[in-house]
Structure 1
Amino acid sequence: MTGEDVAAKRERARRWRLVLGGPAQVSLGPADGRDGRMDAALSALYDGDGDTEGKRAARSAGLGSSAPKVARWLGDIREYFPSTVVRVMQADAIERLDLTRLMLEPEMLDAVEPDVHLVGTLLSLNRVMPAKTKDAARQVVRKVVADLEARISRQTRTAVSGALNRAARINRPKHADIDWDRTIRANLEHYQPEHRTVIPERLIGHGRRTTTVQRDVVLCVDQSGSMAASVVFAGVFAAVLASMRSLKTSLVVFDTSVVDLTDQLGDPVEVLFGTQLGGGTDINRAIGYSRRLLTRPRDSIFILISDLYEGGIREQMLRRVAEMTAAGVQVVVLLALSDEGAPAYDHDNAAALAALGVPAFACTPDAFPDLMAAAIERRDLLAYARKLTT
């Protein structure tokens, strides 16, 4: 066996030792040095899985309920693991070790790796958060919001602006505004073989950019606890859309009550702290309020972000959606706006909406700008949803 083979074998054994934890010590030996510290950080969180007594012992021996201990552990995992792994471990620690209460300690917030899930946890604690923690919490939320804006802002502006320009096509364009690809496709029946060209009877062009409002957009967001990540992304997207003069953007959040956060869209951090995660759900009531904001139905886009578990009047909810679509509103239902994949949702309500011609599907933040473009151009959103989910 060559030296390289021996080194590779040792590395495999080392990795398996870290994966398997304490039970592998007999066959693979103890983890030493940096590996020992990594193993201790992993054991504090994951040892005892599936065993209540084991979990209790792990808490006692590992993290316990001490904010200083947890803060040190958070600092350790940030040193030993990449940020993507750190975020997973933080989320697991909050869930497995019931550390939600400790998130109210400023020293904890100074130690964490900010991410969307942590923001969701902080927003759910907003009503019980002491004054000494709020400044630290706002700094965490502000960093996550800034990262999200950097990720989505340019793509959203480009997709929406392009769609608005394409939607403003005119049939008597100036030469510089002619959309030649669409003009040729629209006039293929007028192809002249002897001249080997198309003689267009109808020119299709792009309308010139305008500073007037071209679309009204209402984002109506379910703020029940299961929708935490969607609330965060929706708040940031709403702020980006509100900064575009060609759109009139409104943000409505709801549980069993309805709150209009439109006047706070200049600061997405304030928007997020204006939400109240948790509680029941009355989708019908939220739609009833949102309809009053849609004063130009044929130039309006209504986006409902909800898992569709309705606590209100289901029949009236569906009737109101049908009335909006009949009036010309582009209605889209997003079961989630997050990177988490397909959520749990009410399948009966989703099927009923599909029967009305309204797509209901999960959407990632990266796909949302293209969805907005499709809605602005009044494309077949059911076909778009099928394409997105296949």
Structure 2
Amino acid sequence: MSVSERGGAAAEPDQPSGDDRLRRWRLVLGGAAEESLGGLSGAESAMDTALAALYDGGGQGGQRSRSAGLGASAPQVARWLGDIREYFPSTVVQIMQSDAIDRLNLTSLLLEPEMLSAVEPDVHLVGTLLSLGQVMPDKTKDIARQVVRQVVDELERRIANKTKAAVTGALNRATRINRPRHADIDWRRTIHANLKHYQPDYRTVVPERLIGYGRRTTAVQRDVILCVDQSGSMAASVVYSGVFAAVLASMRSLRTSLVVFDTAVVDLTDQLHDPVEVLFGTQLGGGTDINRAIAYCQELVTRPRDSIFVLISDLYEGGIRAEMLRRVAALVDSGVQVVVLLALSDEGAPAYDHDNAAALAALGVPAFACTPDAFPDLMAAAIERRDLRAFAAQQST
């Protein structure tokens, strides 16, 4: 294994000193460093054994320095899962679980209820479970739903308030009017906008432009269409998109649609009341036909100037590329605010089709990755019809 792989799991944020530093380097470097750095005992020895089982033996690819490993034994894996939850914080546990699934081919074991009950729920685990949805036995599905529900509830707690606040604020700003009634004048912003018209002789501002608040309304002010690529590489983005769509759908001022696609197109809008149902309505994997998905979404646009179309995809098009670009151009020309996200996750931009991204940029539609924490601000910018190129540049730094 590489030092970075084992180090990513073993490192902790505080700064050790003296013997503690040596012991931590020993954990990072593994048994090969025992002669020069010394052995371990107690809990540190158990931590080293757990790390060795994953990173120093039994994995796929690369040379290993030990013969340890998790093998294909469910009881052994269950014990290992218990050990890492005892000795490492949850953030490290999630990394090690994800590595175990990828490196040791443990995916099939997640179909066992006992195994699924032992894991630490996180977004990547949910993505793996969704990819197994078609082969998951009935005895496992209830536990899988509980795991997904736990992750979804945590994500909603994390993003719901910020999303609603950002969207509501943007809608309020977007509805300000420039010919308000006297009672609707926003005096602070009116004065600020007219400071250049200050009359020193009269010691006052003569407002050339009045800025007012829009009248409160319960009407739908924006239509939001989320169009999500459900190919296997987009698993985390699918999870976050489903939760965000459910949050946006709970806001009366928005009409939110959620469309997922591979080579087929599925409209999940009627399930947005329950994001868990939304996620189990997806089918990760398969090909990609972006053109077909956009064609469907075009039919959902009834008020172009009040519509926001968010395409979340790595842009690897298996359909008709020229037609896909033509459809995006038509949406832009009609007044739709078009947003293209290469990913909606914490991992940054995945591998993506650079030619298609460049072609979209030429249409005035930058394609960039967005973290879940930044997505509410992105929606606010889109609602206010700001130039998203500056937002994209900020996300790329």
TM over 0.5: yes
Contact 1:192/1:198 (8 A) holds in 2 = yes
Which SS does the other structure have where 1:128 is aligned?
coil
* AA aligned opposite 2:207: P
Q: Paired residue for 1:273?
A: 280
1:204 aligns to 2:205 (yes or no)? no
CA distance in 2, matches of 1:55, 1:132: 36
1:299-346 CA distances to partner (integer Å, 9 max, x unpaired)?
100000001010000111111111111111000000000000122111
Q: Paired residue for 2:166?
A: 159
Shift of 1:13: 2.2
CA distance in 2, matches of 1:194, 1:264: 64
Q: Paired residue for 1:363?
A: 370
1:124 aligns to 2:131 (yes or no)? yes
Structure 1 unaligned spans of 5+ = 1-6
Which SS does the other structure have where 1:259 is aligned?
strand
Aligned counterpart in structure 2 of residue 80 of structure 1, from 71, 83, 87: 87
Shift of 1:171: 2.3
Sort the Cα spacing of 1:117 and 1:198 in 2 relative to 1 into closer, same or farther, 3 A: same
Q: Paired residue for 1:380?
A: 387
Show the 5 A alignment for 1:52-91.
52=61, 55=64, 58=67, 61-91=68-98
Contact 1:38/1:77 (8 A) holds in 2 = yes
1:120-170 CA distances to partner (integer Å, 9 max, x unpaired)?
000111111111111111111000000100000000000000111111112
CA distance in 1, matches of 2:183, 2:57: 70
Which SS does the other structure have where 1:217 is aligned?
strand
1:234 aligns to 2:241 (yes or no)? yes
Shift of 1:54: 5.1
Q: Pairwise CA RMSD of aligned residues?
A: 1.9
CA distance in 2, matches of 1:73, 1:341: 30
Q: Which has the higher helix share?
A: 1
* AA aligned opposite 1:106: P
Structure 2 unaligned spans of 5+ = 1-15
Sort the Cα spacing of 1:101 and 1:49 in 2 relative to 1 into closer, same or farther, 3 A: closer
Query: Does 82-91 or 179-188 show the bigger shift?
Result: 179-188
Aligned length: 382
CA distance in 2, matches of 1:203, 1:49: 71
Which SS does the other structure have where 1:126 is aligned?
coil
CA distance in 2, matches of 1:57, 1:32: 19
Q: Give TM-score, length-normalised by structure 1.
A: 0.94
Shift of 1:98: 0.7
Which SS does the other structure have where 2:18 is aligned?
helix
1:34 aligns to 2:39 (yes or no)? no
Aligned counterpart in structure 1 of residue 267 of structure 2, from 243, 257, 260: 260
1:109 aligns to 2:107 (yes or no)? no
CA distance in 2, matches of 1:37, 1:114: 23
Contact 1:165/1:208 (8 A) holds in 2 = no
CA distance in 2, matches of 1:53, 1:344: 23
Which SS does the other structure have where 1:95 is aligned?
helix
CA distance in 2, matches of 1:218, 1:202: 34
Aligned counterpart in structure 2 of residue 25 of structure 1, from 31, 34, 42: 34
Which SS does the other structure have where 1:248 is aligned?
strand
CA distance in 1, matches of 2:169, 2:266: 31
Query: Does 186-195 or 354-363 show the bigger shift?
Result: 186-195
Contact 2:346/2:372 (8 A) holds in 1 = yes
Q: Give TM-score, length-normalised by structure 2.
A: 0.92
* AA aligned opposite 2:46: R
CA distance in 2, matches of 1:360, 1:181: 37
* AA aligned opposite 2:78: A
Sort the Cα spacing of 1:164 and 1:326 in 2 relative to 1 into closer, same or farther, 3 A: same
Which SS does the other structure have where 2:237 is aligned?
helix
Query: Does 29-38 or 220-229 show the bigger shift?
Result: 29-38
CA distance in 2, matches of 1:286, 1:65: 40
Which SS does the other structure have where 2:329 is aligned?
helix
Sequence identity (%):
77
Show the 5 A alignment for 1:124-143.
124-143=131-150
Which SS does the other structure have where 2:341 is aligned?
strand
Query: Does 15-24 or 38-47 show the bigger shift?
Result: 15-24
Which SS does the other structure have where 1:303 is aligned?
strand
Contact 2:311/2:340 (8 A) holds in 1 = yes
CA distance in 2, matches of 1:156, 1:313: 35
Query: Does 376-385 or 185-194 show the bigger shift?
Result: 185-194
Q: Paired residue for 1:297?
A: 304
1:262-304 CA distances to partner (integer Å, 9 max, x unpaired)?
0000000000000000000000000000011111111100000
Sort the Cα spacing of 1:227 and 1:53 in 2 relative to 1 into closer, same or farther, 3 A: closer
